[in-house]
Structure 1
Amino acid sequence: MLHSGNGFVRTMILSDKCEKWIQNSIQLPIPALLVDQNILQQLQLNICNKMRLNRKIKIAVDAENFGSSKFDFENFELLRFYNHTDKDYLVFEVSSENKIIIPKNFSYKINNNLKVPTQISLFLDLWNRGNFVNCRNMTMRRDSTKKGIYTMLRNVLLPPRKPIPVLESVRTLAQLRDEMLKFGIFPFLNGGTFLGWYRECSVIPHTTDMDIAVFAENWNLQFSEFMWTHNSSFRVKRQLGLVNDSYELTLVPKNGFETPVDVFLMYKEIENGKENRWVGGLTTTGIKYKYMYPEYDPWCAADLMGHLFWVSCTPEDKIQKEYGNTWYLDENSSKYIWNAAQNAVENGRFSREQMKTETYNEYKINDFS
């Protein structure tokens, strides 16, 4: 993916030859979106003088306009899409059983009634990650807030945070998703947020933060720098670990309820010829933990209260790995012990000097002034 000097995904400018090719080759009586991956890749390379069409051009047409024209679409493969006002994504019908969803706010240019994406590599990534997967929408019996002695003592020493407002927090997470996409970063739901989406199609009502993860190889350091500017809608509240080891950022919005969003880097390792993934956890004394996952496949797309988020294509497999066979039972967040998860193992420790200087940092609002 191409980036500009400030780290943002670069916007493409079509060459004159490509502009002319579109005008001559794709003439439509109704608005449509170009979703043909082969043509988009050639447009991205600006090699339109060598464009060869040996099959139908794939375009998508709004369902409201579908069938409204008597135009002969013989040279086109048509997809129908839906633009629901209460969703922040478009829904494309690929077949009767499969659909693709992508965010509405991708950049494009209109040429002869044809919308042509202008950040093509990003658009293709959105498309390839867009296979829709549904949540379970289970009816939950909420866990009692009654606590054992250990939990009560822990809550005296470390008072639990207040539950987050659900709708506002989901909107906050979608806003962060959009800021990350500007840098070519694709976050996916993780931890309790992932569990809440899959199990309940919502946010667990007693949760106190949101969790997302990013593949370490997809991380863009310029995004971290952007978080420290006045241009971001978020500020860094906490940073744990190092970029190459157990890295975690806690971000909070600058306006509205300060919903903490924990952003974990997910690392890859090969063990006995098999790929594993893990995210880190860190105690205040420097002990590191790994949350271990089998080979990860985050690239499906899901709806969380009208907003698009990326998730594993095999959600129950990943959730069972972390939360065990009783993942479908509610456990009050005030009782949750993060380093006692089913898939958590110790992973060494950072030195006292590292903890003082680089691997455990908390920030106040004044640090941003």
Structure 2
Amino acid sequence: WYRHCGFIPYTQDVDVGLFAEEYNENIRKSFLGNPIVYLWGALGLVNDSLEFRLFTGHYTFDLFWSYRENDHRWCGYQVNRVKYKHVSRFLPLLPKLCSCDLFGYRFSIPCSPVDYLNNEYGYDLWKNPLEKNYKWINIKYQSTWNDISWMYATRLYTSEGKLRQDKYAINLITKHFNYSLKRIPSYLNVLPNEPITLPPVFIGET
């Protein structure tokens, strides 16, 4: 908005963020089966790289949960939905926020938007954005999901709020999984706080 004085014309998604320490399970429940914007994908664990993919039927909203670490915050981003635990985006802590009017709505923004944009995109690179093949400058490899945690780190939902157990959901997980997987059990409809270490009993079934 700072650059275009309006919505970015060539994108169909919106990125928003919340503090991870303010996570509440009621937030997830409120989006499950929501008739206006529903949760179709939950990626990551509550305490690691959590991201909600929300969908209206036409547009996608990516809700990133940011984690505080020393003098910065970071949020997760699973590359191509493979089992990488994430490439982390580093966001500097801001001592204070200012407010602005955008289309009649008041928003909190960095008091120095240019400094923030230079940190996010690179010096002056935000002035001429790439519409395709954009690469973030402030991300780095963090770690890789182990096989068991990978199952819990990728959950898909129907527009009615039910855990998807169809072929598409199974293929998405098993594509980067070292075990055969014939079904997705209902107990995967959780958001665990810690990485999972014990394998579910159905692994290895033929």
TM-score by length of 1: 0.40
Matches within 5 A, 1:36-185: none
Output the amino acid matched with 2:142: N
Matches within 5 A, 1:1-369: 197-230=1-34, 233-253=36-56, 258-270=58-70, 275-283=71-79, 284-287=81-84, 288-297=86-95, 299-336=97-134, 340-356=135-151, 358-365=152-159, 367-368=161-162
- Tell me how far apart the structure 2 counterparts of residues 224 and 351 of structure 1 sit (CA, whole Å): 24
Deviation at residue 341 of structure 1 after TM alignment:
0.8
- Tell me how far apart the structure 2 counterparts of residues 300 and 360 of structure 1 sit (CA, whole Å): 36
Q: Tell me the SS of whatever aligns to 1:300.
A: strand
Runs of 5+ unmatched residues, structure 1: 1-196
Deviation at residue 367 of structure 1 after TM alignment:
4.5
- Tell me how far apart the structure 1 counterparts of residues 97 and 129 of structure 2 sit (CA, whole Å): 28
- Tell me how far apart the structure 2 counterparts of residues 363 and 311 of structure 1 sit (CA, whole Å): 32
Output the amino acid matched with 1:312: P
- Tell me how far apart the structure 2 counterparts of residues 298 and 239 of structure 1 sit (CA, whole Å): 31
Match of 1:138 in 2: none
CA contact (8 A) 1:277 1:296 kept: no
Task: Work out which of the two has the higher radius of gyration on C-alpha atoms and give 1 or 2.
Answer: 1
Report the CA distance shift for 1:354/1:214 in structure 2 as closer, same or farther (over 3 A): same
Q: Tell me the SS of whatever aligns to 2:127.
A: coil
Deviation at residue 289 of structure 1 after TM alignment:
0.8
Aligned residue pairs, count: 161
- Tell me how far apart the structure 2 counterparts of residues 234 and 346 of structure 1 sit (CA, whole Å): 31
CA contact (8 A) 2:117 2:126 kept: no
Match of 1:194 in 2: none
Report the CA distance shift for 1:297/1:236 in structure 2 as closer, same or farther (over 3 A): farther
- Tell me how far apart the structure 2 counterparts of residues 298 and 259 of structure 1 sit (CA, whole Å): 31
Runs of 5+ unmatched residues, structure 2: 164-206
Q: Tell me the SS of whatever aligns to 1:333.
A: coil
More helix by share: 1
CA contact (8 A) 1:240 1:360 kept: yes
Name the structure, 1 or 2, with higher relative contact order (CA <8 Å, separation 6+).
2
Report the CA distance shift for 1:233/1:344 in structure 2 as closer, same or farther (over 3 A): same
Cα deviation digits, residues 321-340 of structure 1 (max 9, x gap): 1200133433343222xxx3
